[in-house]
Amino acid sequence: MIERESEIKELYDLKHKNDNEIHKHFDYEKNLITKMFPKYVYQNINMYNFIQKMKDQWIWMIESVLPIKNIFNYTVNKYYNKHNS
């Protein structure tokens, strides 16, 4: 999310057009909420709405910490997230 919003959309799409085919990493934007909470939490509509509002903030928080892995590796972009770990 951070990297995508910091670049021009067309350039980002061009750089990452093959990402889905080559690297299979965990997609925080789509799967974070389903992995964090049990299914019965979604039955309460108020709780579900609250979780959906907080989702973007949680994703932003996680992605803001990920560049620390690359902080001393000057050969890669700081938002490079194709690590095995």
Judge whether 77 lies within some domain: no
Judge whether 78 lies within some domain: no
Domain span at residue 36 reads 2-70
Judge whether 79 lies within some domain: no
pLDDT at 84: 47
pLDDT at 7: 80
Q: Find the mean pLDDT for residues 3-22.
A: 74
DSSP string covering the chain, please? -HHHHHS-HHHHHHHTTTHHHH-----HHHHHHHHHS-GGGGGSHHHHHHHHHHHHHHHHHHHHHGGGGGTT-TTS-TT------
Higher pLDDT, 71 or 64: 64
Tell me the per-residue pLDDT of 20-67, one tens digit each, with 9 for 90 and over: 655 566 777 778 788 888 888 888 999 989 988 888 888 888 777 766
Number of domains in the chain: 1
